[in-house]
């Protein structure tokens, strides 16, 4: 018997909020931008590690038998059948440059305990995505809806069906691998003439939350890691968006496509990636 999703959601919000405060307060005024394109600087790596350790320690105290999968320190198996999937700073490049769109993503998944959590078969039970510079907390629980909490209170999220493709504002993102980027550029050049416009926000978890709130109409990306999308996936799904891979199967590292139920199949066709 797993604990109630509402309790897991509360815990996810609590730890993601603490980590969000840490990374926001701990960002130096000026960060020397790294020499290499793909690797963040030491100071960012240090904050990434500190954030993940804070989350790991708090979760270990609260839920000692659960597993943990984090961007920095990898997978630590638990015995409960639940694993916390954590991105301690999603949007690292924004964080590095001082752009105010980065987040802490904390999700808890039920999965086959024989191995690490697999997005093809896991069940995401609860999640929190905290955007500390906007003071916005996105959260969701399986079957219990999604909400956005900000200075004005807590608002339930409801994604609409989505507009026609020609009126759609579509967010996307790119991994750091140059070969994959060439493929992504080809997809982009096919799509760009067909949509209202594109956005590259730089934070996969917030892209998915933006779909949940109707701030963009859709989001797609290939090559994400589980910690990039686990939390935002649940927020978007619980808000009523359809979130799959490009073939309509479970979302995963090979593809995440989120949109309202009207737009989703149309965008899937336009991307022709399945
Ligand atoms: C990245 C961001 C970005 C996405 C990349 C991710 P990170 O995560 O979510 O928006 O396009 O694919 O790797 O590295 O900042 O945690």
The CATH class that applies to domain 165-271 reads: alpha beta
Give residue-wise pLDDT tens across range 30-72: 666 655 556 667 778 889 999 999 999 999 999 999 999 999 8
Spatial distance between the Cα atoms of 170 and 195, rounded to a whole number of angstroms: 7
Write the pLDDT tens digit of every residue in 92-137. 999 989 999 999 999 999 999 999 999 999 999 999 999 999 999 9
How would you class 68 by CB atoms within 10 Å of its CB: exposed for 0-12, middle for 13-18, buried for 19 or more? Answer: buried
Ligand 1 close to Cβ of residue 173 (< 6 A): yes
Determine the pLDDT at residue 272.
83
pLDDT at 67: 98
How much is the average pLDDT of 208-220?
A: 98
CATH class of 5-156: alpha beta
Question: Does the C-beta of 228 come closer than 6 Å to ligand 1?
Answer: yes
Distance 105 CA to ligand 1 centre (A): 12
Of the chain, the percentage scoring pLDDT greater than 70 comes to 96
Span 72-97, mean pLDDT? 95
The domain ranges of the chain are 5-156, 165-271
235 Cα–ligand 1 center, Å: 17
SS3 category, 158: coil
Secondary structure element (H or E) that encloses residue 238, with its range: helix 226-238
At residue 2 the predicted structure's pLDDT band, cuts being 50, 70 and 90, is: confident
Average pLDDT for the chain: 94
Helix axes 42-62, 5-25, angle to 10 degrees: 150
Q: Distance between CA atoms of 245 and 273, rounded to whole angstroms?
A: 9
pLDDT of residue 29: 73
Number of C-beta neighbours around residue 35 at 10 A: 7
């Amino acid at each position: 018997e797993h604990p109630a999703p509402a309790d897991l959601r509360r815990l996810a919000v609590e730890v993601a909020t603490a980590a969000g405060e840490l990374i926001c307060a701990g960002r130096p005024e000026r960060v020397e931008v790294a020499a290499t394109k793909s690797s963040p600087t030491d100071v960012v790596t240090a904050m990434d590690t500190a954030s993940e350790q804070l989350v790991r320690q708090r979760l270990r105290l609260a839920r000692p038998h659960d597993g943990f999968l984090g961007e920095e320190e990898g997978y630590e198996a638990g015995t409960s059948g639940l694993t916390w999937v954590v991105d301690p700073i999603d949007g690292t490049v924004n964080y590095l440059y001082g752009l105010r769109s980065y987040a802490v993503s904390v999700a808890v998944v039920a999965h086959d305990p024989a191995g690490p959590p697999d997005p093809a078969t896991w069940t995401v039970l609860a999640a929190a995505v905290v955007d500390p510079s906007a003071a916005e907390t996105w959260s969701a629980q399986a079957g219990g809806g999604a909400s956005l909490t900000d200075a004005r209170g807590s608002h339930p999220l409801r994604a609409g069906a989505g507009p026609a493709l020609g009126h759609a504002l579509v967010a996307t993102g790119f991994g750091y691998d140059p070969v994959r980027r060439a493929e992504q550029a080809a997809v982009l050049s096919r799509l760009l003439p067909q949509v209202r416009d594109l956005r590259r926000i730089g934070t996969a978890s917030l892209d998915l939350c933006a779909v949940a709130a109707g701030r963009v109409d859709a989001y797609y990306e290939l090559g994400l890691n589980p910690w990039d999308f686990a939390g935002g996936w649940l927020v978007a799904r619980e808000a009523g968006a359809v979130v799959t891979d490009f073939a309509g199967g479970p979302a995963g590292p090979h593809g995440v496509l989120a949109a309202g139920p009207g737009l989703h199949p149309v965008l899937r066709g336009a991307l022709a990636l399945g």
